[in-house]
Amino acid sequence: MFKGSYVALITPMNDQGRVDYPALENLIKFHIDSGTHGIVAAGTTGESATLPFEEHIEVVKQTVAMVNGALPVLAGSGANSTAEAIYLSEQMAHLGVDGFLSVVPYYNKPQQAGMVAHFNAIADATDIPLLLYNVPGRTVADMLSETVAELAQHKNIVGLKDATGDISRLKVTQALVPEDFVLLSGDDATSCEFLCQGGHGVISVTANILPAIMAQICNAALAGNFTKCRELDEQIHAFHHALFVESNPVMPKWALYKMGKINSAHLRLPLVLPELKSKKQIEALLDKHALIAGNKGQ
């Protein structure tokens, strides 16, 4: 089920900082129409760190309702407190989500044994499939391939989002996990090569902006057409970098605002709008690809 292009969906907000549900519905329709294979709701790109529990759960609930079975929905359920991650999982287990995505605890720097205990406890809490998320650039702690393999023995732990950007890690992990264990790239800049080396898909920030081409890249790779996969990726490679010149999701929100897909680029503090230099960089790319929707300033 968890293959192809999954968008790490932003959470649109109005200028008062409240979740903009009509904009969220428009984004979901955009992805359904563009061929996106699945949606991650209230993940880290969705500003989960600054969504209170009730709001986090509501965003996921509304996303499932708006998707209405057209695409699989993964719900972010990560926290640096195991008890909080379990609470979120239990509260969202009956919302109709297809799976959970749970990040390595941030700031705590858990040992490998601590990661095993943490994720096993979350997986024990519900019967919903759980995907692990390793992004040491944000969490500091790095979940090793051997740890992933140990966790893969749990019946509910079915995959990994690998955002290390290290393709050599993929081969190591592939050799240690079951054949049906899902391996998804969480690093857009290296995602094409990840797919060409046997990855099953992506959870992509770039897909917020270019869902159709990200889906095409995954379709090509999964069909074994690696030449086409690389050719398509080369066309949009600059986006993979421009969308990360400031902390995610600062740049994808600004890009979607300039595209007219959301009404405001509002971010929850401590994140703020991008600097002028960053705005100009992404706007130049959007203009080059004919994605700007009118002249918007903020």
User: How confident is the prediction along the chain (298 residues), in pLDDT tens digits per residue?
Assistant: 799 999 999 999 999 999 999 999 999 999 999 999 999 999 999 999 999 999 999 999 999 999 999 999 999 999 999 999 999 999 999 999 999 999 999 999 999 999 999 999 999 999 999 999 999 999 999 999 999 999 999 999 999 999 999 999 999 999 999 999 999 999 999 999 999 999 999 999 999 999 999 999 999 999 999 999 999 999 999 999 999 999 999 999 999 999 999 999 999 999 999 999 999 999 999 999 999 987 544 4
* DSSP H or E run through 8: strand 4-8
> Of 258, 249, 248, whose CA–CA distance to 279 is shortest?
258
Q: Please check whether residue 239 is in contact with residue 20, taking contact to mean a CB–CB distance below 8 angstroms.
A: no
How many Cβ atoms sit within 10 Å of the Cβ of residue 290? 6
Residues in the chain: 298
The amino acid present at 277, given as its one-letter code, is K
- Classify residue 243 by burial, with Cβ atoms within 10 Å: 0-12, 13-18, 19+: buried
Residues tagged active-site = 133, 161
Q: Is 45 marked as binding a ligand?
A: yes
Q: Break the chain into its structural domains and give their ranges.
A: 4-235
Q: What's the pLDDT score for residue 296? A: 46
Residue 186 φ/ψ, nearest 5 degrees = -115, 15
Which residue type is seen at 81?
S
| Alpha carbons within 13 A on the beta-carbon side of 193 | 12
Is there a contact between 256 and 10 (Cβ–Cβ < 8 Å)? yes
What dotted CATH number matches 4-235? 3.20.20.70
Which two structure tokens, joined as six digits, stand for 297? Answer: 């300033």
pLDDT score, position 230: 98
Secondary element (H or E) of residue 183: strand 182-185
| CA–CA dist 243, 131 (Å, integer) | 24
In the chain, the amino acid numbered 264 is S
Distances 29 to 24, 43, 134, 210 between C-alpha atoms, Å: 9, 19, 29, 14
Query: What pLDDT was estimated at residue 297?
Result: 45
Q: What is the pLDDT of residue 1?
A: 77
Distance between CA atoms of residues 33 and 38, nearest Å = 12
Tokens of residue 148, six digits: 């992933």
